[in-house]
Amino acid sequence: ETGVTQTPRHLVMGMTNKKSLKCEQHLGHNAMYWYKQSAKKPLELMFVYSLEERVENNSVPSRFSPECPNSSHLFLHLHTLQPEDSALYLCASSQDLPAGGSGANVLTFGAGSRLTVL
Amino acid sequence: GQNIDQPTEMTATEGAIVQINCTYQTSGFNGLFWYQQHAGEAPTFLSYNVLDGLEEKGRFSSFLSRSKGYSYLLLKELQMKDSASYLCAVRDHGNKLVFGAGTILRVKS
């Protein structure tokens, strides 16, 4: 396994279902991210975990619940979603820089989970 | 507010050169990134600029002017496999990565 792996690649769910998206990174990075990608719109940052602590929560509705049990795994738990939540959900990882550090801190993305809410 | 602007779509011919522009207004600046995303695949890192000027990497080059809030990605000797979406992103002073909506490039033979 290389890079960042997301499962499932495709998910169709009803508004009353509960499902989870899974992300695994094999790069030894210390930060993981969830992004939402909708057609013709910029990537929207949802959550950031650095050293397994949530450091960013961009006013995301509570029907999305992240979980980061360790530095290699990230989950997004989904509950009572709306049709407008249909999108591509991208996971990414990076090596966070120490405070005051400089450098690219490049994100490595997974291929995404395509979610359709009926 | 944060704003990244890039053209929605571009079309170019195989073998030609194409320039994809990006203008930005963000809360500070800590570097600009270009990513390539083929349909159904992960965005992949292409280039990073933090100082003014041109960075060249094979067929791809990226330019930055911080005073103008402007960057471009230059693709030379276009190939069919270059058909993809190109995402411009700026890291602001809070270290947040702000993305544009992406430019879909279609390369025709």
- Give the chain A residue whose CA is nearest to the CA of B35: A107
B1 contacts chain A (CB < 8 A): no
Residues 6+ apart with CB under 8 A from A42: B4, B98, B99, B100, B101, B102
Residue A104: what pLDDT? 75
Q: Which of A85-94, B64-73, B86-95 is least confident?
A: B86-95
Q: Is B44 on the interface with A (CB under 8 A)?
A: yes
Query: Contacts of residue A3 in chain B, CB cutoff 8 Å?
Result: 42
Place of tokens 């690649």: A9
Higher pLDDT, A12 or A2: A12
B17 and chain A in contact, CB less than 8 A: no
C-alpha A118, offset from chain centre = 21
As a whole number of angstroms, the distance between CA B109 and CA B79 comes to 9
Q: For position A99, what pLDDT does the model report? A: 59
User: What is the chain B residue with the closest CA to A47?
Assistant: B96
Which tokens belong to A30?
């210390």
Least confidently predicted of A75-89, A91-105, B10-24 = A91-105
Question: Of A97, A37, A70, A22, which is closest to residue B42 (Cα–Cα)?
Answer: A37
Task: Note whether A71 and A30 are within 8 A (CB).
Answer: yes
Q: Coil, helix or strand for B70?
A: strand
- Both tokens of B61, joined, read 């080059």
- The band of B47, judged by pLDDT with boundaries at 50, 70 and 90, is very high
What tokens does B8 get?
A: 């929605």
